[in-house]
Amino acid sequence: MARTQTFEVYEDSAGAWRWRLVAPNGNIIADSGEGYSSKQGAKRGIESVKNGARDATIEYTD
């Protein structure tokens, strides 16, 4: 069975909740970029990315 990308939710050393998206090879390919005050806040952040990125466009800047 092939591994898939996985969202990990964790508490950082400052007590904030964060998420990261991990590729099957173990590389972190995205992260929350900010800490949340609760685990539920981090979960809402994941859902926001999952739902909002479906229709995201790609913009190239120089």
pLDDT by position in tens, the chain (length 62): 668 999 999 999 999 999 999 999 999 999 999 999 999 999 999 999 999 888 889 999 98
Contacts of 37 (CB under 8 A, 6+ apart): 16, 17
CATH of domain 6-54: 3.30.160.160
Token digits of residue 11: 């508490």
CA distance 60 to 51: 22
Token digits of residue 13: 């050393």
- Whole-angstrom distance between the N-terminal and C-terminal Cα of the chain? 40
CA distance 54 to 47: 11
